[in-house]
Structure 1
């Protein structure tokens, strides 16, 4: 099935960019599976910015989905906040479905928020640091208000309530920091202090720019 991803860029200080993405990955099992390729493409675009956040219905219904984010160079906000795979506290699907579906499929953590901030310490290229400070679910037991529509939803007896959706929503709050890196180089007894940017170092004291050290 054809899938799209929507991106939006937020300008950060010092010409850095935070890229946001929302998408809905393939819901069906396939051979070969489609979700790995879909998430890999989205992650590729996300990582072209200095930092990024991706959220949506990722339809994580198979065993490989548990590690798919790491294989794409992303981190899982729920896991970063201490959540565990398989715990009911992280499940986003199955609470608001019909009895037969719930008995057949159980609960699932289909909806996720992933992010990229680079490196094990969360630092992206250009000195952008991403840290999750809050994660949660929302939308449990929200029902259709129109009485006629609600009656049609529950008339078959499969649904217990006229729920507006079969998914819970997920939300996360991040702290985003743009770090200012400094380069100090001894030159005839003086310190030349420059701010490291993507293009190298902008030196002070009217000196010519010096080359930023590799690595």
Structure 2
């Protein structure tokens, strides 16, 4: 289908000055890259090209001069092998990282870690219900100096003129630049 990604580079002030010995030292800037994508769908062709598409995203987010990168969008993660694509390409999957952190925090508090309901991560298949099962098709992947602090679904049950605004839920992510 000829899918693409869109990227924007941001010059971000670093917490480390260029010369910390000087009181009026210029603030060093780092480059953060933000991307949005819509990967190939469907079994067959999509299964063959999604790994290359994620590899390309990883290259764009981690190339020389980029301190941190984040890409989100419809990853069309419909095959079991899609669950491994982020890690195989040196990227963090925000949902997975946040779920792991939540589980570790519950363990540290002495309570029994509760398995998070996987359906809370589902972003597709409800608006409207389809013959395909709901799933976590939309993802946020990141690398480098970024840390995802929180993520939530947005646009749940959002309608306009008696129609769904989208067949996907959106994702709102809070990110810390380290």
- TM-score for the superposition, normalised by structure 2: 0.77
- Bigger shift: residues 66-75 or 22-31: 22-31
CA contact (8 A) 2:55 2:89 kept: yes
CA-based RMSD of the aligned residues comes to 1.8
Q: Which residue of 1 aligns with 2:174?
A: 173
- 1:85 Cα shift? 8.8
Structure 1 runs of 4+ with >3 Å offset: 83-86
- TM-score for the superposition, normalised by structure 1: 0.64
- 1:72 Cα shift? 1.1
CA contact (8 A) 1:113 1:171 kept: no
Q: Which residue of 2 aligns with 1:92?
A: 123
**Gap regions ≥5 residues in structure 2:** 14-27, 101-114
* 1:77 and 2:94 aligned: yes
Q: Which residue of 1 aligns with 2:106?
A: none
User: 1:24 & 1:85 partners in 2: Cα distance?
Assistant: 27
More helix by share: 2
More contact order relative to length (CA 8 Å, sep ≥ 6) = 2
Residues 151-190 of structure 1: pairs in structure 2 closer than 5 A: 162-177=163-178
User: 1:67 & 1:109 partners in 2: Cα distance?
Assistant: 13
- 1:51 Cα shift? 0.6
CA contact (8 A) 2:3 2:39 kept: yes
The structure whose Rg is larger is 1
**Gap regions ≥5 residues in structure 1:** 118-128, 151-161, 178-215
Residues 25-174 of structure 1: pairs in structure 2 closer than 5 A: 25-30=39-44, 33-48=48-63, 49-82=66-99, 87-98=118-129, 101=130, 104-117=131-144, 129-145=145-161, 150=162, 162-174=163-175
Secondary structure of 1:67's counterpart equals helix
- 1:86 Cα shift? 7.3
